[in-house]
Structure 1
């Protein structure tokens, strides 16, 4: 009994709020690193000569590694010490940020983003799993809410902060900004966090982790390279076949495992499967739009980096508005009606955006972006919470891990697939008569047009890019409508007694406790 009292006293240590503040700084970094690079991509395309495919890899390298390593990273913390592995993750993220700031070519930037993905995969689950050692049960919900809010706040901060840095400093500053905040997190972890571990934690399944990473990596590489090599190129076909074989091997291994890394049997639950599908589609759309929009706003409409970041905010504002209004609407209409209607709204926004012309101007873009943000949040927020509510308590941890992994995979595939579609259509529309360098990206085309004094080339590139963006939005709209129909037909419709979880993080933290 004395031990319990002493533990409660430790948890009531006033330093716990300082420790939480440091964790919040770390989560902010992870949040805006998901979006900060998107604003920098046009600058990187101009300064480093990055093609569309290389820009896709800059964005996707972080997300692919993040998705592949998140589950084993949590097990490493359980087994070897959460504080130790959290510090290690922050250290790896810090090293990746420094490498990115000092990079001199595209390949080093991609390598740095990969390293940052490794660090982020350690930090995200472990930042939540250390909270029980800091806070008693009556304070833990508040602490988890603060952490979740910090992670969500980082998303809209990324474009604004990235734009401001690019307007005042060189592109490496979008990496260097991480250094002081991560250093603060490491210092706080060293002095303020107690060490905790779970002696009964299973061993990390290296084979399953390798199959996940290589299978997903092969798929993403094939999708990104296909527009340049051709979809029937032997290498591309071989990579698709290899990815299918690796994923099949992963599924077979996980089904035989007594303690699987990915509990795929959860997908047999209709509510979990369809809500996960809706949440994953939302991340597919959001990541694809965040890749496509900055180049349109900067190259076609002519805004600077800071202006681009600010002009993405209507989508974020729509998301925040919808997130606030979700609980009462969910209580009144139920999840099936709300999620289905939200996906229809998202489809409407995409189809509206697909009517964009070179002369449309920003006002039209702001309109459909706001509608898209509302549709996204009304679909994804309840879908993520309801996916976890379908799970029994003893499988909340594995279920939240599977949901986050699939959701991150949707982000990576969104950037790869929609970016590949854009690159292929842009190159075809621009035509073979244009200089080779102009086919790399619309930013490169503007640079070539300026060197040659050829405004017609810049105008042709703008028209080709807008045409490609419109086709991407049509695909997004169709995918949203199909998912809406599936949700309306098959989604279970329990009326919740209380408001659902508005962020997956609390449930994920519960699963780690």
Structure 2
């Protein structure tokens, strides 16, 4: 089946289901482990450092591997590498269920990160080969919703599994989903075109980029423990800056770079990427503070918390449907700033939350935020994909995903510090024993535990008010970023109404496998 026929076939939506299924399990796995950490600590006797690396190892390998995997996909085939990533993800999940020590869990999570690094950019790179330029924004919206949905739903899935099964079930649930995604991908995704890959691989550039990203992610992982001015943090972040500058200089001069930095000369790619980073920063800030607010302040369980985040996803899908008709008529230069303005309005409305407000107010500003999220991120991502040469689609989407990932890592670290500052400024622990005071000042959940133990309703009320204050600071910062993004988009995005991807070149037309 030719590419034009594929873009008109109902099977394209099944192909999209296969792609979204793969990114959904990545999104779920990124957060599902969090609820299992206390159980793993008890059953495998993991200390705090090992628990930190169960999450950090995944994040590290995901960030480091994402850049070169895009180039490998361009050379050896997007479908081949994507299916390999899904298979690796499934096998690592099985390995995690068999882990009998903290080190084995860390290793399994690191391999899961490698699989995820192939799945995220390459699944995006395949979208314009399956859909026409008119339908690609809708496909991007569904793909984006799947990635966003996985984050808040992960703890729900993890909590349910731990309530009914043993701790290894948080790994095991990935395996059948990976098998299903693998089978669907083999059947439905277009075959890879035969490509020449005789150009040498830039090993030094890969090393510089990998070490630079490693230092950056490692430094941010240490921030919650050591603070921004800790010696290890400063050393890591300084090394990251030096290595990444060296990487950029190397890539600019190398005849066959890992990432094509000249893509940033295209206004669509440059501003589409930056806008996507701004949007991702704001949404990651929301998803960082909101579950804690819903659980610790409003008192919902894991399942209730996950369900109550869904207005964000509903708003995203509604906006994606609207953007499909708005962008061709009004242009990305109008729609993207409009979306960012709505996103800013939503989070700034959320920043007025009072400790006495119920969920109805949260659902209101979440819905508005989701609408802005969809109106901004779908056209911005379409601009990026539209700027990519067909033979460098994997490298381009890898660059986009890497920049977003690193922005999210730094953003969450910064927003986490802001949340902690706001919380500590308001929580009152006077008169508590030293150990209890430390636990209460550590987090709102710690304060709740101490309050229950001591039957101290005043401490709980103080902690809830302090957390809401910190959350409002985070949401205010997210709103400011969204406003900045809206201004930049209005000034610098192209004025043409083409927020969609370019036509697939005839020589790249591929058929269903």
- Structure 2 partner of 1:288: 285
1:52 CA displacement: 11
Match for residue 23 of structure 2?
30
**Per-residue Cα deviation, 1:242-279 (whole angstroms, up to 9, x for no partner):** 11101101111101111111212222333432221111
Q: Does 1:409 align with 2:402?
A: no
C-alpha displacement of 1:48: 4.5
**1:119-170 C-alpha deviation (Å, 9 max, x unpaired):** 12223455677899xx9x8999999987984674364266447525523435
Q: Relative to 1, partners in 2 of residues 1:261 and 1:463: Cα closer, same or farther, differing over 3 Å?
A: same
Measure, in 2, the Cα distance between the counterparts of 1:221 and 1:481. Answer: 30
Instruction: Answer yes or no: is the 8 Å Cα contact 1:326–1:378 preserved in 2.
Output: yes
Q: CA deviation at 1:93?
A: 1.3
The answer to whether structure 1 residue 467 and structure 2 residue 469 are counterparts is yes
User: Aligned to 1:435, what secondary structure does the other structure show?
Assistant: helix
Q: Give the conservation status (yes or no) of the 8 Å contact 1:318–1:370.
A: yes
Equivalences for 1:108-127 in 2 at 5 Å?
Answer: 111-125=107-121
Matches within 5 A, 1:90-489: 90-101=86-97, 111-125=107-121, 149=142, 152-153=145-146, 155-156=148-149, 159-160=152-153, 162-164=155-157, 166-167=159-160, 168-169=163-164, 172-185=168-181, 198-200=195-197, 202-390=199-387, 398-427=395-424, 429-430=426-427, 434-489=436-491
Tell me, yes or no, if the aligned pair for 2:138 and 2:324 is still in contact at 8 Å.
no
Question: Structure 1 residues 360, 380: CA separation in 2 closer, same or farther (over 3 Å shift)?
Answer: same
* Residue of structure 1 in register with 2:500 after alignment: 500
Question: Residue by residue, what CA displacement relative to the aligned partner does 1:435-455 show, whole Å, maximum 9, x if unpaired?
Answer: 333344323332333334333
Shift of 1:207: 2.9
Which one is further off, 373-382 or 395-404? Answer: 395-404
Query: 8 Å contact 1:74–1:126 — kept in the other structure?
Result: yes
- Residue 4 of structure 1 corresponds to none
When structure 1 is superposed on structure 2, of 79-88 and 241-250 the one drifting more is 79-88
Give the TM-score normalised by the residue count of structure 1. Answer: 0.80
CA-CA distance at 1:232 after TM superposition: 2.4
Classify the secondary structure of the residue corresponding to 2:500.
coil
**Is the 8 Å Cα contact of residues 71 and 392 (structure 2) preserved in structure 1?**
no
Q: CA deviation at 1:350?
A: 1.5
- Equivalent in the alignment of 2:34: 41
Instruction: Provide the residue aligned with 1:3 in structure 2.
Output: none
Q: Give the TM-score normalised by the residue count of structure 2.
A: 0.80
| Greater Cα offset, 24-33 or 348-357 | 24-33
Q: More displaced, 462-471 or 245-254?
A: 462-471
Q: Quote the residue 2:85 is aligned against.
A: 89
Whole-angstrom CA distance in 1 between matches of 2:458 and 2:101 = 30
Alpha carbon RMSD of aligned pairs, Å?
4.3
Shift of the 450–384 alpha-carbon distance from structure 1 to 2, 3 Å rule, reads same
Cα deviation for residue 404 of structure 1 reads: 2.8
SS class of match (1:34): helix
Deviation at 1:79, TM superposition (A): 5.2
1:380-419 deviations in whole A, cap 9, x for unaligned?
1111112343456666554344223222333333333322
Structure 1 stretches lacking a partner, 5+ long: 1-6
Range moving further from structure 2, 226-235 or 389-398: 389-398
Residues 96, 440 of structure 1: alpha-carbon distance in 2 compared, 3 angstrom cutoff: farther
- CA distance, structure 2, for counterparts of residue 363 and residue 346 of structure 1: 18
Q: Deviation of residue 486 (structure 1)?
A: 1.6
8 Å contact from structure 2 (residues 202, 256) kept in 1: no
> Are residues 91 and 389 of structure 1, via their aligned partners in 2, closer, same or farther at CA, if it must alter by over 3 Å?
closer
